[in-house]
Amino acid sequence: MSEVVNILIASVGGQGGLTLSRVIALAAVADGKSVRTGETLGMAQRFGSVVSYVRVGKEVHAPMFGYGEAHAILGLELIEVSRNLHYLSNGASLFTADELKPPISSSLGIADNPRKADLIKEICSKARKVKGKVYVVSAKELAAKLGNPRAMNMIVLGAFNREFKILSDSAIEKAITQLLPGKKGETSIKAYYVGKSLNIVPIC
Amino acid sequence: MQKELNPLKAPAGTRIALMGNEAIARGAIESGTYVITGYPGTPSSEVLMTIHEFGKGLDLYAEWAVNERVAFEIALGAAIGGARALVTMKAPGANVASDPILSAAYSGVDGGLVLLIADDPGPITTQTEQDSRWFAELSKLPMLTPSNPQEAKDFVIVAHELSEKLKLPVILRTTTRVNHTVAPVVTGDIRPPCKYVNFVRDPPRYVRAGMAWNRERHAWLLGQLSKVEEELAGFRVNRVEGSGTRCVVAEGVGYEYVIEGLERLKLRDKVKVIKLGQIYPLPKEFLRHALNSCEKVLVVEELDPYLEGKIKELAYESGLKLKIVGKMEGLLPEVGELGVNPVVDALKRFLNLSLQVETSISPLAAPPRPPPLCPSCPHRNTYLGLIFGILKAGYRREEVPIFGDIGCYALSVNPPLNAIWTEHSMGASIGMAMGLKLSGFKGPVVATIGDSTFFHAGLPALAEAIHKRVDMLVLILDNEVVAMTGHQSTLTWGRTEMGRPTKPLKIEEIVRGMGADNVAIVNPYDIDKLVATVKEYLRKPGVNVIIARAPCALHAARLYGVQKRYTVIPEKCKECMACIKITGCPALYIGEDHKVHIMIEDCLGCGLCAKYCPFDAIVEVKSNE
């Protein structure tokens, strides 16, 4: 792996994609690493496409990276993942929640309304072209069991860090506590460990 | 929050991950800035929001102002008395504030005055890709541009020092990838707040009614500008990295892309990088020296080829034999933001390296996700009520132009509402509706404007429309907050974010006081009443105002929780899609069973979908969150 790890977070506004990118940034700094994030938010407070670029390493300069340069994609929603697959680098890993939030354009019949299973299949066939690994996690379900479905972002983070091991658990705990004080933070920390302990294998 | 994690209170020498705007807020505290104001606008809003979140108990004034020009005037008033002030705005806000900004260059200041102008290449959330570096030239005010959050913080302090030394306001110009980037920042010492010192009457300086004084001050201003480079010399805002005859001049986030690109090409020591933090006036001495050994120069900058032109001019007047290239030669695009890839391509062409195309797979053709109004948004009801009211009044939709304005409600442009016809600049809805009407347009015209936008720039336009007796319907969409930029206070609040008690202004009293012919206050969730009022007001002559008042649903949910949500009984859903086609609520979707479903965790319980379900398939469920 190169010195800088490029992570792309694909989510729908309101799902916690920005919190996830911030937790990684805080944890990276707590671990003494360099970090840059860049967010592309839409104009809406909710339900827009949100892309966060996170770069962790020894020395990082640019807040973004280009197509074919993500070592990992963390997805909170499958349509947003499929929209950003061109960022996958050779041999990259994709960790995504099996969550589907069809946009209004799909519901109105202006655009396709993809089925979850088809979408996962298509994501796999694209990822295969770059020898990528795809991990699908029932993140919302697992988070809901902990009492807060919104903690699904930390389940995905746990699954990612289990494979990539770029952040220490203590730094992640510290970052979550800093960002989400109180009960929300406690649930998020639990969610991170649930994600990390999942014995997941790539589905493709 | 622990003190060492509070970005404003952490002791000097702490290394924290800060967003650019948080770093600027920290810079304000370190520099002893006492008055901090501005108007919300992406990507600048988080500077004040950070102080609101973390600055409780600090001795300072940090409040939103009604618009950017008033904000600037407040900051200017503070600075002429010797206090340090910071005023923040997005690029179009600088246009609003331009009148006092230009005059302020002639009067100058005694305390430091830093003007943050945040540009938005892309654009990501702005109406134009305005390059505000031209603003420095226009106003003749010194300008600094940081490349990352650390510099953003440090440059606030440098800008204050420069401002006080030269007695001039200083512009700190950023772009989105600096404002919204998170990076490690090392904090510095905090100095006590710099408050009022004294203010003495000095008409030649502060009164612009004397033309001889104005000429005198203009000459003074030019003299001050000639000292900028020398005054900044000790701060190392400009620097040279590496050496060689092939040189790159870069500023802002462009510099970060250049370094990243050169590392990727393994050429970091083989190319001389000239980094500029001082943008106006151009640091000519520094550049002449830095460019002396260069044969070829590539200029990397976001937006316009501003520096490129300036450096070509400098080379010409200094007799430097250089080949200078950049956007004018097509090496980089003028439209959209930069990134590592376009900069790497430009470097390859500049250095005559092979343009090997990096391969990446294509994405899947995903259904588009244009930004929608949130679930339960009162604006959805307002526009539906307006559209149904237009139809009820006997007009076809295409006969009644709906002028829009800046705010969340502009998202009503998207299907299925397809509501607004225009959205230009703050407050423009009323003036434009008036112009169309008086030009001979026969049908009714409607202006729709949010509460904060109404205070910001709608007041003069409404006064004009009422005064000139131009018939129109004005809908003021009052959701009691500046929603789109992240829920900031408006003038109707009784207490600001910092806890300052305020006098809440009443929109209905203002509108009535101005002389509007008819004024109604309607809760948009009572959609039938709204439809009836629109129908009545469209037919009545005069300037008729409907204040559609209900709190922003998202803000209310955050403050008070969600009491009820809705769900679909699948057996009752007949797949007519009336709920989706009428409301366009993003919490609704069509499942694999072809029936409508609700993303229950996103439903905020307005019940609009249930109202329009002909089969009573959508029902309420209790929620206690």
Query: Does A110 score more than 80 pLDDT?
Result: yes
Provide the pLDDT confidence category of residue B355 given band limits of 50, 70 and 90.
confident
From chain A, pick out residues whose CB is under 8 angstroms from the CB of B589: 101-102, 106-107, 113
Across the interface, whether the CB atoms of A39 and B180 are under 8 A apart is answered yes
Query: Does B548 score more than 90 pLDDT?
Result: yes
Percent of chain B at pLDDT > 70 equals 99
The domain in which residue A80 lies consists of: 5-138+164-182
Q: Is residue A201 part of a domain?
A: no
Burial class (CB in 10 A: 0-12, 13-18, 19+), B208: middle
Q: Is residue A35 part of a domain?
A: yes
Residue A101 belongs to a domain with what CATH number? 3.40.920.10
B356 secondary structure, DSSP code: P
Nearest CA in chain B to A127: B361
Using alpha carbons only, how large is chain B's radius of gyration in Å?
Answer: 27
Question: Please, what are the domains in chain B?
Answer: 3-233 (3.40.50.970), 238-350 (3.40.50.920), 378-557 (3.40.50.970), 561-622 (3.30.70.20)
Query: Does B83 score more than 80 pLDDT?
Result: yes
Pair B598, B570: CB distance under 8 Å: no
From chain B, pick out residues whose CB is under 8 angstroms from the CB of A65: 339-340
Pair B302, B342: CB distance under 8 Å: no
Across the interface, whether the CB atoms of A28 and B17 are under 8 A apart is answered yes
Across the interface, whether the CB atoms of B340 and A102 are under 8 A apart is answered no
Percent of chain A at pLDDT > 90 equals 92
Across the interface, whether the CB atoms of B360 and A41 are under 8 A apart is answered no
Pair B574, B615: CB distance under 8 Å: yes
Pair B26, B155: CB distance under 8 Å: no
Provide the pLDDT confidence category of residue B404 given band limits of 50, 70 and 90.
very high
Nearest CA in chain B to A149: B601
pLDDT tens track for B25-43: 999 999 999 999 999 999 9
Query: Does B113 score more than 80 pLDDT?
Result: yes
From chain B, pick out residues whose CB is under 8 angstroms from the CB of A103: 367-370, 372, 586
Q: Would you state the pLDDT for residue B115?
A: 98
A vs B: CB pairs below 8 A: 206
Using alpha carbons, select from B117, B260, B240 the residue that is nearest to residue B179. B117
Q: Is residue A18 part of a domain?
A: yes
Q: Would you state the pLDDT for residue B359?
A: 74
Q: Which two tokens stand for residue A98?
A: 């099996």
Mutate to test the interface with B, among A31, A46, A101, A150 (most CBs of B within 10 A): A46
pLDDT tens track for B209-225: 999 999 999 999 999 99
Q: Is residue A29 part of a domain?
A: yes
Across the interface, whether the CB atoms of A104 and B586 are under 8 A apart is answered yes
Q: Is residue A127 part of a domain?
A: yes
How far off is chain A from B200, nearest CA to CA, in Å? 46
Rounded Cα distance between B272 and A190, Å, is: 49
Rounded Cα distance between A38 and A53, Å, is: 5
Provide the pLDDT confidence category of residue A1 given band limits of 50, 70 and 90.
very low
- Least trusted range by pLDDT, from A148-152, B90-94, B355-359, B362-366: B355-359
From chain A, pick out residues whose CB is under 8 angstroms from the CB of B367: 79, 102-103, 105-106, 110-114
Give the pLDDT mean for B557-575: 95
Considering only the beta carbons, identify the residue of A39, A61, A178 that sits closest to B5: A178
- Indicate the residue type of B284: K
Output the DSSP codes for B383-435. Answer: HHHHHHHHHHTT--GGGS-EE--SSGGGGGGSTTT---SB--STTHHHHHHHH
Query: Does B329 score more than 50 pLDDT?
Result: yes
From chain B, pick out residues whose CB is under 8 angstroms from the CB of A115: 592
Pair B251, B275: CB distance under 8 Å: yes
From chain A, pick out residues whose CB is under 8 angstroms from the CB of B372: 44, 46-48, 103-104
pLDDT tens track for A154-197: 999 999 999 999 999 999 999 999 999 899 999 999 999 999 99
Q: Is residue A147 part of a domain?
A: no
pLDDT tens track for B167-220: 999 999 999 999 999 999 999 999 999 999 999 999 999 999 999 999 999 999
Across the interface, whether the CB atoms of A29 and B363 are under 8 A apart is answered no
B355 secondary structure, DSSP code: -
Using alpha carbons, select from B91, B59, B90, B85 the residue that is nearest to residue B72. B85
Q: What is the mean pLDDT of chain B?
A: 96
Sign, CA dihedral B584-B585-B591-B596, equals negative
How far off is chain A from B580, nearest CA to CA, in Å? 7
Specify the number of domains making up chain A: 1
Provide the pLDDT confidence category of residue B356 given band limits of 50, 70 and 90.
confident
Regarding beta strands B564-568 and B618-622, do their DSSP bridges make them parallel or antiparallel, or are they unpaired? antiparallel
Provide the pLDDT confidence category of residue B226 given band limits of 50, 70 and 90.
very high
From chain B, pick out residues whose CB is under 8 angstroms from the CB of A130: 360-361
Q: Is residue A193 part of a domain?
A: no
Q: Would you state the pLDDT for residue B187?
A: 98
Q: Is residue A41 part of a domain?
A: yes
Provide the pLDDT confidence category of residue B2 given band limits of 50, 70 and 90.
low
Across the interface, whether the CB atoms of B369 and A49 are under 8 A apart is answered yes
Across the interface, whether the CB atoms of B371 and A38 are under 8 A apart is answered no
Rounded Cα distance between B562 and B604, Å, is: 6
Mutate to test the interface with B, among A47, A71, A98, A120 (most CBs of B within 10 A): A47
Nearest CA in chain B to A67: B360
The torsion region of residue B407 among left (phi > 0), alpha (psi -120 to 50) and beta comes to left
From chain A, pick out residues whose CB is under 8 angstroms from the CB of B374: 44-47
From chain B, pick out residues whose CB is under 8 angstroms from the CB of A68: 358-361
Q: Which two tokens stand for residue A202?
A: 């790539």
Considering only the beta carbons, identify the residue of A13, A37, A105 that sits closest to B181: A37
From chain B, pick out residues whose CB is under 8 angstroms from the CB of A122: 364
Across the interface, whether the CB atoms of B371 and A44 are under 8 A apart is answered yes
